[in-house]
Amino acid sequence: MIKKIICINCPLGCEMEVLKDDGIIKVSGNTCKKGEDYAIAEIMDPKRIVTTTAKVIGGDREVVPVKTDKEISKSFMFDVVAEVNRHIFSAPLYVGQVLIENIFDTGVNVIATDFINRK
Amino acid sequence: MIRDVVVIGGGPAGLAAAIEAKKNGAEDVLIIERDKRLGGILQQCIHNGFGLHIFKEQLTGPEYANRFIDEVKNYKIDYMLDTMVIKIDKDRNIIALTPNDGIINIKSKAIVLTMGCRERTRGALNIPGNRPSGIFTAGAAQRFINMEGYMVGKKVVVLGSGDIGLIMARRMTLEGAEVKMVLELMPYSTGLKRNIAQCLHDFDIPLYFNHTVVRIHGRKRLEGVTIAEVDSERKPIKETERFVECDTLLLSVGLIPENELTREANIPIDNITSGPIVDESMQTMVEGIFACGNVVHVHDLVDYVTFESRIAGRSAAKFVKGQLSFNDKSFKTKGTYGIRYVVPHRIDPLNVDDSVNFFMRVDNVYKNVYLTVKNNGQIITKVRKAIVTPGEMESVVVKRSILEKLNKGDIEFTLEEIKND
C-alpha cells in the first residue's frame, strides 16, 4: 500500500510517499527525521486534537469552545463532536475545566477552552 | 483625562502591546475594545495550533488570548469594552463612543493602533447575481458557528484557499455539513500547508486551483454557484463553466488591514500592505503613534503578531518617558525581485535593541533561493530557502551591529536563484 502525505511540521510541506508492506514501512520524499516520524504516525495511528463547541445554558454565550486535552485517534473525530453535541453545560465555566471525562475510554478528556460567565 | 498609552483594539496585538508598555514603565495604560470581551478574533478561532513559538505548546485561539487577558488583569491594566474609537488626530486626541457616557474625549501621550484587519467581501470581488442569504465571509460564518451557536448551512462551497476558509471547511464538515469543494483562483494555495493537510486531506475535500465562482444562483437562499476554470490571466474560460448546487458560499479571499482611523489622521500608509508605514520601533510616521499586528500587515501566525506588538508596546513606553531617540539616521527598506513588501519600512539603527526581525511576503512560489539582504550593492545577510510561497510570511533577522555600519542607501531584500556548483 502506498500513501501520499504532506508533512505538516514546517513550511516546507514535503510531499512524502509511504509504502507499507508486511509491517515494513518505508518513507520517501521527506527531508528530515521529523517528516519520517510524522509519516509513520500517520500510517500507524493518525491522531488529532479535536476542537468543537458545546451548548451552554445560563451563560453570557450560547456555546463554549472545547477541545480534547490530548490527541485522539483520527477515527474518533466525528464521534467526539457528536458526543459533545449531546451535552448541555451550565455557566459559569472556566478555561481548562473538564467537561467530559475519559471520552470513549480513551483516557482523553474534553475540556473548555474559554470562560463563560453567568448571564 | 490624560493617559500615558492608549491601545486601540483588544485583540492579540493590543493585549501584548499594552502588557509590554506597562512592563516597561508606562503607568497609565488603557485598552479600548469595541467588542463585549477582550481577545479579538482569537475568540472565534477555536481550533488548535496557536502559540508554538511563544509558549512552545499548541493552544486554541481563546486559550492563547486568555493567557494575555490574565496578564492584563494581573498588571491591573485598564480596559473599556463596548467602546469604539471614532476618531484620532496627530496630537493623539481620541474620540470614542461608549454605551454609558456617550461620546468621550481622551488625550494620550502615546497611541498604539491595533485594529487588526477585515475580510474582503463579495462586494470586493464583484461576483454577479442576486443577493440571496447563504453567502458569508469565512470569518463571519466562524463567528456564527463558534461563538453564537448557529449553523450557517448544509451544502458548502468555499471560494479562496485562505486559512480561515480551510479551517471552516473542516469545522463545517465536523458539524455535519457537506463541503463540496474549495476553489482557488491562483495556481497555488494562499493558506498554510498544514491547514491544507489537516482541513482538506483529512476529509477528502477537493481543492481546485485556477478556479473561481462566476455566478450566484437563487433569490431568497443561495441555490448554487457557477464555477469556471481561469486562464493564465485569471479570466474565466467560458467552456469550463459548470453549476454546483449549494446553499452556502464561504468567501476566504484575503484580508485588508483596518485603517480608517489611521487614514483620517493622515498617517502615511503603504499601498502594498494597506497598513501604516512603520519604523524599527513600530512607530508610524506620526510621532507618538505606533501600530502593530494585522493593522500593519496581515500575519499568518499570531505568534509573530505578539513578537511585533511587544516591540510596539515597549517603544510606546520609551516614547512616553522621552527615551526614544530622534536622530533621523534612518534607512528605508525595499523589496525587489520577488519580495512584495518589507516591514518595518524604515530603520534607525540607534533605536534598535539587539536586532531587527524583518517580515516580508514573496509574490510567487520559488524553490531553492537565497533571501538576500543588501545595502549599497553589498550583501549584508543571506538565508537559504528551499521554498517560499505567498501564503507563508518570511522573516530575516539583522543584528544591530550590522545595521550600525551602514552609511547610505536603502536596505534591499531580494530573492536570488541558487546556482548549482
Q: What's the pLDDT tens digit per position in B105-151?
A: 999 999 999 999 999 988 888 888 889 999 999 999 999 999 999 99
Q: What's the pLDDT tens digit per position in B315-350?
A: 999 999 998 876 667 899 999 999 999 999 999 988
Residue of A nearest to B42 (CA): A114
The amino acid occupying position B309 is: S
Question: With 60 as the cut, is the pLDDT of residue B245 above it?
Answer: yes
pLDDT at residue B203 in the model? 94
Q: Does A78 touch chain B (CB under 8 A)?
A: yes
Q: Does A20 touch chain B (CB under 8 A)?
A: no
Q: Do B194 and A67 touch (CB under 8 A)?
A: no
pLDDT at residue A5 in the model? 85
ipTM, interface predicted TM-score of the complex: 0.90
- Check residues B353 and B278 and name the one with the higher pLDDT: B278
Q: Do B202 and A48 touch (CB under 8 A)?
A: yes
The C-alpha of A21 sits at a distance from chain B's nearest C-alpha, in angstroms, of 22
Q: Does B63 touch chain A (CB under 8 A)?
A: yes
* Average pLDDT of chain B, as a whole number: 93
Distance CA A76, CA A80 (A): 6
Q: What's the pLDDT tens digit per position in B46-76?
A: 999 899 889 988 899 999 999 999 999 999 9
Q: Give the pLDDT mean for A52-60.
A: 95
Please list every residue in chain B whose beta carbon sits closer than 8 Å to the beta carbon of residue A95.
62-63, 66
Taking the complete model, does pTM exceed 0.90, yes or no?
yes
For residue A2, what pLDDT band results from cuts at 50, 70 and 90? confident
pLDDT at residue A60 in the model? 93
Q: Do A49 and B193 touch (CB under 8 A)?
A: no
Please list every residue in chain B whose beta carbon sits closer than 8 Å to the beta carbon of residue A91.
none
Distance CA B169, CA B183 (A): 12
Q: Do B146 and A114 touch (CB under 8 A)?
A: no
CB B33 within 8 A of CB B14: yes
Q: What's the pLDDT tens digit per position in B287-319?
A: 999 999 999 999 988 999 999 999 999 999 999
Q: What are phi and psi of A45, to 5 degrees?
A: -155, 85
- Chains A and B: how many Cβ contacts under 8 Å? 76
In which element (H, E) is residue B264 found? Answer: helix B260-264
Q: Do B145 and A5 touch (CB under 8 A)?
A: no
CB A48 within 8 A of CB A64: no
Residue (of A63, A5, A74) closest to A37 by Cα position = A5
pLDDT at residue B421 in the model? 52
The C-alpha of B225 sits at a distance from chain A's nearest C-alpha, in angstroms, of 28
For residue A22, what pLDDT band results from cuts at 50, 70 and 90? confident
Q: Tell me the pairing of strands B102-113 and B207-208.
A: unpaired
In degrees, rounded to 5, the angle at the alpha carbon of residue A80 between the alpha carbons of residues A75 and A85 is 145
Q: Does B197 touch chain A (CB under 8 A)?
A: yes
For residue B420, what pLDDT band results from cuts at 50, 70 and 90? low
Q: How many other CB atoms sit within 10 Å of the CB of residue B219?
A: 11
Q: Does B1 touch chain A (CB under 8 A)?
A: no
Residue of A nearest to B148 (CA): A62
For residue A106, what pLDDT band results from cuts at 50, 70 and 90? very high
Instruction: Please state, for a pLDDT cut of 70, what percent of chain B lies above it.
Output: 99
SS3 of B157, please? strand
Q: What's the pLDDT tens digit per position in B358-406?
A: 999 999 889 889 999 999 888 889 898 888 888 888 999 999 998 888 8
Distance CA B344, CA B398 (A): 12
Please list every residue in chain A whose beta carbon sits closer than 8 Å to the beta carbon of residue B60.
51, 65, 67, 113
pLDDT at residue A23 in the model? 75
Q: Does A52 touch chain B (CB under 8 A)?
A: yes
Residue (of A5, A49, A50, A55) closest to A30 by Cα position = A5
pLDDT at residue B414 in the model? 93
The C-alpha of B287 sits at a distance from chain A's nearest C-alpha, in angstroms, of 37
pLDDT at residue B129 in the model? 84
For residue A8, what pLDDT band results from cuts at 50, 70 and 90? confident
For residue B260, what pLDDT band results from cuts at 50, 70 and 90? very high
pLDDT at residue B325 in the model? 76
pLDDT at residue B277 in the model? 95
Crossing angle of helices B61-74 and B12-23, in 10° steps, is: 30
Q: Give the pLDDT mean for B199-214.
A: 94
